[in-house]
Chains A and B, each alone.
Chain A
């Protein structure tokens, strides 16, 4: 892994820091393609009465085609969810459990600790980072938060779809296979699933458009397009700005302590 993706890469004399592997970037492309497709075929149905709904829905294939595109994209997304679950479980086992087995130290306690130590897991540092962030934002501290490899915002971005898909997906499946569904479960559950599906989708859509895209694309230093989702590597300036703790660690590990730049000049 480390050889395939050096932690620091050089392009045109500039430093770039490793963020995401190719497989992760491919998963992300599938994720956002599905979500955008689902949004374009789903929101016109939610807002069937609005001016824009009909032309958009017609563009997406109309009543005979668009619902099938929606179901197709939803199925791919659900498959991705299961794949990703297998993927992190595999990494968890290979990187954290296997060493414990080899060291003969695997126990419920060490397993649980290893589980909590995964880089996507929210932890105490995230809490302290949030407090530091508010101090800094409110001009109560000159020091911006120094995020590690995965900041609390990115963890939120990650768990939004990871909680959203299990809510949206089965609800969508139940509405799709309503006849088969009603053989085993009462019809009024479909009323509940409809709300779950459409309102969670709106939350996800608004969050992605306003918050996630601000963090990765709209923010002044990124606009119009952050490229890390394509290249997998983040520029030094962005790294200092967003992942200062990880930056220092990567620089130190590579023997570049003397070249570490101070935070706060961006």
Chain B
């Protein structure tokens, strides 16, 4: 969706904005007719009929920073997403009229109109923000000072790429399924509207992994896989070293049962937002806690404490940090080179020898049968 900076436009761009509004109005009128013919299949909570315009795939412009912005909303995706019961204007609060001016960036921590049933309070994502701010991913250190390169630290949407926030990609098409049989139990009592369907999918989608492990690794790799980022924060290429482990390999072949980043870097049973530095005594990756993390009841529960000394993020080129791996690799590479080069040379010479099978720089008497036998018999054992 359109996310534009909240600053006053310059004089030049103001004209651009006016032109944009005019263009939008024309666009609206032209497609209003179309809208009447192709009635949107799902009206949802779209009280102001926002999708009347935003359903058109070409709805886009170049913003004042020169970036291409696509404002298309795929209704199908929206209706499968977690926000389907929320009105557009609940989040896009600065939009008061249609057609509207460039909208402000949405804050994920606003309170929406939904009442959170367990506490009877307005629903908000603010508690998640709190957890995130206590984690290693907070822009602030413990004393409350801004860390170096604060812009590198993630906010909600850096990880939660709702399909709607990445308009040109495809949703994986699978969401928590609705079992008609399961639903029938709810519907016995909750008969009005789509209440049962909505809450059923709300609950079931949270009872299972909503993202593939591979996607989790990709989300982390957006920052941790970037060499410039690693250098700025003095971090190893943990994405690369993870991918070299059996965990990483299994994930790359599509396994969802093996450990991805979050399985080890979050204390078992805690919110995935609470990743901590391995230096924190409470971190799942702190040296005193690694064994407990590996041996949690879903993973290596049969393992001994000693499994903790397995080095997951091995950098095979780093002789100082991983001397054993470095020198073992050197040994095997050396052995391989020695064996293969020796035999390749022999094979090559043998093929060359076939060119002139009887030629020799040094003449010798060809061996006769008896001398061969004589040579041979000395070697024969019992």
Write the residues of chain A forming the contact surface with B, with a CB cutoff of 8 angstroms: 44-45, 48-49, 54, 57, 62-64, 95-96, 99-100, 113-114, 116-118, 123-125, 133, 135-143, 146, 148, 175, 178-180, 182-188, 190-192, 194-196, 199-200, 202-203, 206-207, 210-211, 214, 219-220, 244-245, 248-249, 252, 257, 260, 262-266
Contact = CB atoms under 8 A, between A and B. Distances in A.
B124 to A, nearest CB: 40
B302 A143 contact: no
Nearest to A58: B253
Interface of B: 243, 246, 248-250, 252-255, 300-311, 314, 322, 324-325, 328-329, 332-333, 335-336, 339-340, 343-344, 346-347, 349-354, 356-364, 366-367, 369, 372-373, 375-376, 379-382
Given A179-B302, A262-B366, A124 B382 contact: no
Contacts of A210: 340, 343-344, 347
Given A99-B382, A117-B382, 12 more contacts: A45-B249, A48-B243, A118-B381, A137-B353, A175-B246, A182-B300, A187-B309, A188-B309, A220-B354, A245-B373, A263-B366, A265-B357
Contacts of B359: 139, 142
B364 A114 contact: no
A141 B360 contact: yes
B97 to A, nearest CB: 52
Nearest to B367: A143
Nearest to A136: B353
A195 B329 contact: yes
B366 to A, nearest CB: 6
Contact of B379 (A141, A148, A179, A199): A148
Contacts of A133: 346
Nearest to B249: A48
B369 A191 contact: no
Contacts, number: 182
Nearest to A125: B379
9 contacts: A125-B379, A139-B353, A142-B364, A178-B307, A196-B332, A211-B340, A245-B372, A249-B376, A265-B357
Nearest to B311: A191
Contacts of B243: 48-49
Contact of A116 (B351, B358, B381): B381
Given A48-B243, A125-B379, A183-B306, A214 B336 contact: no
Nearest to B308: A187
A239 B364 CA distance: 23
Contacts of B349: 137-138
B376 A266 contact: no
Nearest to B343: A211
A8 to B, nearest CB: 16
A232 to B, nearest CB: 22
A140 B340 contact: no
Nearest to B307: A182
Contacts of B344: 210-211
A148 B359 CA distance: 24
B379 to A, nearest CB: 5
A191 B325 contact: yes
Contacts of A219: 350
A199 B353 contact: no
A141 B328 CA distance: 41
Of A44, A49, A118, A124, the most chain B CB neighbours within 10 A belong to: A49
B358 to A, nearest CB: 6
Given A48-B243, A118-B381, A179 B329 contact: no
A139 B356 contact: yes
B215 to A, nearest CB: 16
Most buried by A among B306, B356, B373: B306
Contacts of A95: 382
B366 A206 contact: no
Contacts of A245: 372-373, 375-376
